[in-house]
Amino acid sequence: MTRPSLDHLFVHVADLAASHQFYVERIGLDVLMREPGYLRIGSADGGFFMGMEERPEDQVGSIGIEIVISVPDVDRLARDLAAAGIEISEPAEQPWGARHAWTHDPSGYRISLCSPIRDAV
């Protein structure tokens, strides 16, 4: 028997175009599917993905959700986002073995961008 596994995250967003710009153009995720009012993003290599559906403001958001995205270089991406006017925390090493920086997407979801801590040379 196959065990249950996490497949994807689905969120409601207020502005699908702004979400596309943030996740695809700024962070670098791939568009896996696009239809009117719907966007699926993730990695073209497969794995976990996120679906987004445009909804009215009163149907968007949830306190307590944090979307964690692994990126190759959190320091570089944090600098790029800050230069684009996006408020983001300074990347910092965390005790669980990664560097994280926190921001929010256009719909207000808390985003954690992370990279493994590089070994000292």
Q: Report if residue 73 sits inside a domain.
A: yes
Look up the domain containing 28 and give its range: 8-56+63-116
Predicted TM-score of the model (pTM): 0.90
pLDDT tens digits for range 52-66: 999 999 999 988 999
Alpha-carbon distance of 39 to 80, in angstroms, equals: 24
Q: pLDDT band at residue 4, thresholds of 50, 70 and 90?
A: confident
Alpha-carbon distance of 108 to 59, in angstroms, equals: 12
pLDDT tens digits for range 71-102: 999 999 999 999 999 999 999 999 999 999 99
Domain containing 97 — which CATH number?
3.10.180.10
Give the total number of structural domains in the chain: 1
